[in-house]
Structure 1
Amino acid sequence: MLKSSLPFLFFTLISAALNGQSDSSVFVKLVSISGYKHIKVQIISRQLSVHDGDVFVNKKALDDALRFSEQILINTGLLRELEFELIELQKNVFVVYLEVKESWNFYPIPYFNLADRNFNVWWVEQKRALNRVNLGVKLYHRNVLGYADALKITLSDGYNRTYKMEYRFPYLDKAMKWGVFGKLSFQQWREINYDTRENKQLFFRKPDNSFLSNYFLTEAGVTFRPAFQSVHTFFYGFQRRMVDAVISKSLNPDYLLNGDEKQNFSFLRYSYQFDNRDNRFYPLDGYYFQFEAEKAGLITKEDRNAFTIMGLTDIYKALIPGLSLSVGARGKYSFIRNKQPYYDNRALGFSEFTTMRGYEYYLVDGLDLAMLQTTARLLLFQGVNNYGKLVFIDAFRVQPYKVYLTLHSDWGIVNNPFSVENINPLDNKLLWSYGVGINIKLYFDMVARIEYSRNIEKGDGIFLNFNASF
């Protein structure tokens, strides 16, 4: 008797559990999207974690899914505003309305680029020399066909000459997980940073201003996006570099190693990114992780042999409204411990991600790098400027802005086993800096930073930086 009643008891308990869950679960009957013009509606839907027919355990779970979808959509850079509205048709049955306003996607802008590593080096050390400026035009469209496909074309001349084109198509298949990209670049330099002394760049330029170096790069690959926040990228490329004999024979035989005047090699690179930041242009909460591995020189006869891994992670924590803390770590390790060409032996100070605040005027060459950055951000005030018809582009007529007070402290060290004693004193040394600054966020993707920093060598200064998504 007991044995025969067990199945009935089991199904009774399951039924009771399901009935209890259905009382609080919510059903999304329809998701309606409006306001889009150029972007394809399926691109917006791809970023949503709420779709027609979805069932959520309760109303809070639905609200959380909408907040997550808003974060993903804003981080695409394709939308400047969006608003969700929930309409309850009957008890626990909802329609989700999403209204969007697209960002300005096409930027045919004059190209003003400094030849130096950053604005501060050009302004102070190079004394604002106009002959170190590149002028031209940059065409950037981040949504050419409406599929979040981006095209970049740069044509410039001046200190350097640059012809560059890059195209990305992120959604190639019906599942919208695979994408492709390609890049072509040709550059020429009239002046070359041929060596480092006192952790400062040494330059050479011919009296007749003729070109000293030619560089060609071609690169193609595929992307795989299995989830909202993660992207795998696989690169294959080839690069060719030629330098004048005065560089390779006289000034620095290690520029391309062994006094070589040319360098040819192919490379493979893998990159993984996981982005859980609330706003990738100026994050205050969440975290970001990136890992990259590159093998340069795929066959023995090529002119470079290196295998390098690089990683970075940033963690942001909103403590109370208006106050946020962040900790970021960067690292680089070279598995092949042979001496590398001077031009390829980059570590600290050569890019935005490897620049220590307070050391903007310096750079450190080496095989390995470790760096830690900490920042506190306090919102001082915010507002909106409405320029109306004074601005002819609708996307720029309303300008939201926020101003933050920041405190920062950075640590870093570079391992350079081939460093010559007393030549570059920052090699193989623990570095530290701290400072205070003002950050100004304009629209949703432009950030200006004005910072005072002081380093352990007792050097200090005011440093300016500006970043924009285009």
Structure 2
Amino acid sequence: MRYSKVTVFLFLFFYLHTVNGQDTSYQPINPATPERIKVNNIYIIGNEKTQKNIILRELDFVTDYYYDWETFMGILKADELKIYNLRLFNEVTITPLVTGPEEVEILISVKERWYILPSLIFELADRNFAEWWTNQNRDWSRVNYGLKVNHSNVGGRNEKFRFSGQLGFTKGLDILYSKPYIDRQQKHGLSFQLTYADQRTIPIKSRFNRQVFFTNENEDVLRKNFSSALRYTFRRTFYNFHLMTFGFSRTWVNPEVFEQSPTYFRHEGNELNYLFFQYSFRHDKRDNIAYATSGELLQLTGTKYGLLPKEDLNELELNLIANRYVPLSDRWHVATGLTASWFLGANQPYTLVRGIGYNPNFIRGYELNVIEGQQLYVHKNSIRYKLMDVSVDLSRYLPSDQFNTLPFKMYFSGNFDHGKVVDRNRIPENMRLANKYLFGYGAGIDIVGFYDSVIRFEYSLNNQGEGNFFFNFKAPF
């Protein structure tokens, strides 16, 4: 249900001056807090495009039911966070308006984001900024550019559409459409994704814990990849999701690649084709998906590569992500996160190789390295202090509600990460870091800004005695 500002003003005027038809002009402005309450009506303002049922889906209370007041206030706080984490709104406020001894009206006020965001693609093709800056000598040919269009709220139903066309180091096409709810109960969803990419320079192996890249003399295309996937989502409760993905992947590789790396594929031929099925359970109760300061995230994933008897690949991968964010005070919080990954087979095609150094599996201080293997364990830790939390009002210069408020948060972080990669193949030139306990530590500044954008400046050292300055565009976990 949508209401104009005039309607809301009249509603509030009525609320402040009348309760149950009686004039309350001379009564106290703040009525006594009731021990229990019942919600009569729910009003939503600010949702010019977003449909009301998308917001109501996140509410953990109903009308005409009595709640303990303290319990109810906790529910409202949690519901504010759930609505904000839809990433459809810049601001969300839920206000209970007491209209009787044990009765309230609920006013939900939202400020919508700009949902259609065409943007230019200009990004590094490498694993991170440090890899490009140091290992690749700031090579500007290793940049991707193109055009991307994101619509994050198609039809006001929280449906996502993404199209990107990319040139540069990696040429590619990406199309995604996601419908979070296909049923009236808003529990079941579907999404579809189609991707294509080709590259003239590709990593073919690692040596001395650094990626080795190959380009032939004619700068021919060395690898082409096409994949498609259909995902089904079941949201059983507010914080628990079940995701099942069925897809197909086809990778073609120029025969010259095998002259440089004979084990790039683990089968004969220069094509890798397989069906895959993935199941994930996700429990997500973070206060802010982009940069959490309280709550937890648990994700368990199993992926079977190769579903038919005669396919090119037969492999099973298991993954675990377990993060916890604990507020210590209004300004201090602790973040800790465990990531683990296991391949059951001893050897994988290089297109599936995992390890420390590949996002999101990294240890701060080792951003310049890749440590590859079949098993990895990474435990990341940060203690953070909020230096600044301001919101700049730009309405004098930008009348649009989607852009006239500029939030700005700054955190100081002290970090300690540790972990290990198990490589059953024990490749001699990579044994400096593989199969060894690794740790890194340091400090940094994290900035959280407009539309949940994150920028991190860190200086980290590792237990090899190496230190460096690192720059990133995403929260570490």
TM-score of the superposed pair, with normalisation by structure 2: 0.90
Shift of 1:207: 2.8
Q: Distance between the aligned counterparts of 2:35 and 2:295, measured in 1?
A: 29
1:257 CA drift (Å): 1.8
Aligned to 1:252: 261
The equivalent position to 1:261 in structure 2, one of 259, 270, 295, is 270
Alpha-carbon distance change, 389 to 110 in structure 1, aligned in 2, over 3 angstroms: farther
Q: Which residue of 1 aligns with 2:346?
A: 338
Amino acid at match of 1:93: E
Q: For residue 406 of structure 2, what is the aligned residue in structure 1?
A: 399
| Partner of residue 108 from structure 2, selected from 98, 103, 119 | 98
What's the offset of the Cα at 1:225?
0.2
Equivalent residue number for residue 291 of structure 2: 282
Amino acid at match of 1:381: M
CA shift in 2, pair 1:444/1:115, >3 Å: closer
Q: Does 1:348 find its partner at 2:359?
A: no
1:34 positional shift: 1.3
Residue 390 of structure 1 and its aligned partner are, at CA, apart by 4.2
Aligned counterpart, 1:185: 195
Amino acid at match of 1:402: K
**Is the counterpart of residue 173 in structure 1 residue 180 in structure 2?**
no
2:31 matches 1:31? no
Which residue pairs with 2:436 in the alignment? 429
CA RMSD, aligned part only?
1.5
Residues 252-306 of structure 1: per-residue CA shift (max 9 Å, x gap) = 1111124531100000000111111111111111111111000001112111111
The equivalent position to 1:195 in structure 2, one of 205, 210, 214, is: 205
Letter in 2 for 1:53: D
Q: Deviations over 1:143-181 (max 9, x none)?
A: 112111111111011111101101110010000000001
Q: What's the CA shift for 1:424? A: 4.1
* 8 Å Cα contact 1:160/1:188 also seen in 2: yes
Other-structure match for 1:307: 316
Counterpart residue identity of residue 313, structure 2 = R
SS state at 1:48 partner: coil
C-alpha separation in 2, matches of 1:376 and 1:420: 36
* One-letter amino acid of the counterpart of residue 133, structure 1: V
Residues 2-401 of structure 1 mapped to structure 2, 5 A cutoff:
24-56=35-67, 58-248=68-258, 250-258=259-267, 260-335=269-344, 337-351=345-359, 353-388=360-395, 390-391=397-398, 393-401=400-408
Matched residue count: 442
Matches of 1:88 and 1:70 in 2, distance apart? Answer: 19
Structure 2 unaligned spans of 5+: 1-33
1:323 and 1:29 map into 2 onto residues whose CA distance is 38
Retained in 2: the 8 A contact 1:277–1:283? yes
Instruction: Specify whether residues 454 and 141 from structure 1 end up closer, same or farther in structure 2 by C-alpha distance, changes over 3 A only.
Output: same
Q: Which amino acid in the other structure matches residue 255 of structure 1? A: Y
Describe the SS at the equivalent of 1:277.
Answer: coil
- Tell me, yes or no, if the aligned pair for 1:253 and 1:260 is still in contact at 8 Å: no
User: Could you list the per-position Cα deviations for residues 394-425 of structure 1 after superposition, in whole angstroms to 9, with x for gaps in the alignment?
Assistant: 32221111111100000010111012224442
Partner letter of residue 355 of structure 2? A
Q: Which residue of 1 aligns with 2:6?
A: none
Corresponding residue to 2:453 among 438, 446, 456:
446
**1:256 and 1:263 in contact (8 A); partners too:** yes
Report SS of the residue matched to 1:60.
helix
Q: Secondary structure at the match of 1:211?
A: coil
Give the conservation status (yes or no) of the 8 Å contact 2:333–2:385: yes
For 2:64 and 2:234, the matched residues in 1 are separated by 27
Which stretch shows the higher mean deviation, 136-145 or 79-88? 79-88
- Deviations for 1:223-261, whole angstroms, at most 9, x for unmatched residues? 00011111110000010001111112x111111124531
How far off is 1:325 after superposition?
Answer: 0.6
Give the letter for the 1:452 counterpart: Y
Alignment gaps of 5+ in structure 1? 1-22
- In structure 2, what is the Cα distance between the partners aligned to 1:392 and 1:453? 42
The one-letter code matched in structure 1 to 2:127 is R
Cα separation, 2, equivalents of 1:356 and 1:106? 35
**Matches of 1:350 and 1:391, distance apart in 2:** 40
Query: Over residues 13-46 of structure 1, what are the superposed CA-to-partner deviations in whole Å (9 max), with x where a residue is unaligned?
Result: xxxxxxxxxx943111111111101111000000
Give, in whole Å, the separation in 2 of the partners of 1:346 and 1:367: 7
